[in-house]
Structure 1
Amino acid sequence: MGYVTRIVIIGGGPGGYEAALVAAQLGAEVTVVDCDGLGGASVLTDCVPSKTLIATAEVMTTFDSSYEELGIIVADDTPPEQQAARVVGVDLGKVNARVKRLALAQSEDIATNVTRAGGRVVRGRASVSPQQAPDGSRTVRVTGPVGEAGGPGEPEELVADAVLVATGGSPRELPDAQPDGERILNWKQVYDLDELPEELIVVGSGVTGAEFAGAYQALGSRVTLVSSRDRVLPGEDPDAAAVLEDVFRRRGMNVMSRSRAQSAKRVGDRVEVTLNDGRVITGSHCLMAVGAVPNTRGIGLEEAGVRLTDSGHIWTDKVSRTSAPGIYAAGDCTGVFALASVAAMQGRIAMYHFLGETVAPLRLKTVSANVFTDPEIATVGYQQSDVDEGRIDARVMKLPLLRNPRAKMQGVRDGFVKLVCRPGTGIVVGGVVVAPRASELIHPISIAVDNNLTVEQIAKAFTVYPSLSGSIAEVARQLQASKPGGDD
Structure 2
Amino acid sequence: MSDTYDLVVIGGGSGGVRAARMSAQLGAKVAIVEEYRYGGTCVIRGCVPKKLFVYASRFPDLFDVAPSFGWQVDASFDWQTLLANKDKEIARLEKIYETLLDGSGVTLFHDRATITGPNSVSLKSGGTLEARHILVATGGSPFKPAIEGAELGITSNEAFHLETLPKTILVEGGGYIAVEFATIFSGLGVDTTLVYRGDRILRGFDHDIREGLESALHERGVRLRYGYHISKLEKDGEGVCVSFSHGEEATFGAVMFATGRHPNTDDLGLEAAGVDRDQTGAIVVDAYSRSSCPSIYAVGDVTGRAALTPVAIREGAAFAQTVFNNTPTTVPYDLIPTAVFSEPEIGTVGLSEERAAERYRSIDVYLTRFRPMINTLSGRQDKMMLKLITETATGRVLGCHIMGPGAGEMIQLVAIPMGMNATKADFDHAIAVHPTAAEELVTLKAPSYRVVDGEKVAA
Fold-level similarity (TM above 0.5): yes
1:59, distance to aligned residue in structure 2 (A): 2.2
Structure 2 unaligned blocks of 5 or more: 453-458
Change (3 A) 1:458 1:35: same
Alpha-carbon distance in 2 for matches of 1:47, 1:278: 35
Specify the alignment match of 2:50 in structure 1: 50
SS in 2 for 1:43: helix
Task: Map Cα deviations across residues 345-369 of structure 1 (whole Å, 9 max, x no partner).
Answer: 1111111111244344221122111
Structure 1 unaligned blocks of 5 or more: 75-86, 133-137, 144-152
The 8 Å contact of residues 346 and 402 in structure 2, kept in 1 or not, is answered as yes
How is 1:403-442 mapped onto 2 (pairs within 5 angstroms)? 408=376, 413-442=382-411
The 8 Å contact of residues 192 and 222 in structure 2, kept in 1 or not, is answered as yes
How is 1:59-458 mapped onto 2 (pairs within 5 angstroms)? 59-64=59-64, 66-74=65-73, 88-130=75-117, 132=118, 138-143=119-124, 153=125, 155-176=126-147, 180=151, 184-388=153-357, 390-393=358-361, 395-402=363-370, 408=376, 413-458=382-427
Change (3 A) 1:360 1:384: farther
Change (3 A) 1:118 1:376: same
Alpha-carbon distance in 1 for matches of 2:248, 2:153: 18
The 8 Å contact of residues 57 and 187 in structure 2, kept in 1 or not, is answered as yes
Change (3 A) 1:378 1:127: same
SS in 1 for 2:270: coil
SS in 1 for 2:255: strand
The 8 Å contact of residues 171 and 194 in structure 2, kept in 1 or not, is answered as yes
Identity of aligned residues (%): 29
SS in 2 for 1:214: helix
Amino acid at match of 1:91: D
RMSD, matched Cα: 2.4
Once the two structures are overlaid, the 10-residue window that deviates more, 352-361 or 115-124, is: 352-361
Task: Map Cα deviations across residues 53-77 of structure 1 (whole Å, 9 max, x no partner).
Answer: 111112223333x234444333xxx
Change (3 A) 1:480 1:274: closer
Once the two structures are overlaid, the 10-residue window that deviates more, 398-407 or 280-289, is: 398-407
SS in 1 for 2:235: strand
TM-score between both structures, scaled by the size of structure 2: 0.92
1:286, distance to aligned residue in structure 2 (A): 1.1
1:422, distance to aligned residue in structure 2 (A): 2.4
Change (3 A) 1:401 1:358: farther
The 8 Å contact of residues 216 and 382 in structure 2, kept in 1 or not, is answered as no
The 8 Å contact of residues 184 and 266 in structure 1, kept in 2 or not, is answered as no
1:421, distance to aligned residue in structure 2 (A): 2.2
Count of aligned pairs between the two proteins: 449
1:483, distance to aligned residue in structure 2 (A): 12
Change (3 A) 1:242 1:469: same
SS in 2 for 1:312: coil
Amino acid at match of 2:26: L
Alpha-carbon distance in 1 for matches of 2:68, 2:439: 23
SS in 1 for 2:272: coil
SS in 2 for 1:303: helix
Alpha-carbon distance in 2 for matches of 1:259, 1:451: 43
The 8 Å contact of residues 399 and 416 in structure 1, kept in 2 or not, is answered as yes
Once the two structures are overlaid, the 10-residue window that deviates more, 374-383 or 404-413, is: 404-413
